[in-house]
Amino acid sequence: MKALQIMVAGAIAFAVGSAYAQDASTQAQPSQDLATTAVGGTPSTSSEMGSPTGKSRQQVYNELIQSQHNGEADRMKDLFKGGQ
């Protein structure tokens, strides 16, 4: 008797799960990225696969060197109390 109840519960869970899976796959996909259509939106900083599309390591390194030469790095240390 208990095995029959477990089988019925499993069959109900399977039926409900597959019904929700069908609903999720039939939702309409937006044709454009929300960031490009929204007012004041900014483009995403990563691709759909998750890889970053921002600055390269070389660009970041060059900005670091530039900030060290023009004194900006020292000002940031003082501002954030890192120069103690």
Domain ranges of the chain: 54-84
Helix (H) or strand (E) holding 1: none
H or E element in which residue 78 lies: helix 72-79
Q: What is the pLDDT of residues 23-42, one digit of tens each?
A: 554 555 555 565 556 666 56
pLDDT top residue among 10 and 43: 10
pTM for the whole thing? 0.35
| 34: Cβ contacts below 8 Å, ≥ 6 apart | 41
Of 2 and 61, the one with more pLDDT: 61
Both tokens of 21, joined, read 């899976």
Q: Are 15 and 9 in contact (CB under 8 A)?
A: no
Percentage of the chain with pLDDT > 70?
A: 55
d(CA 73, CA 67): 5
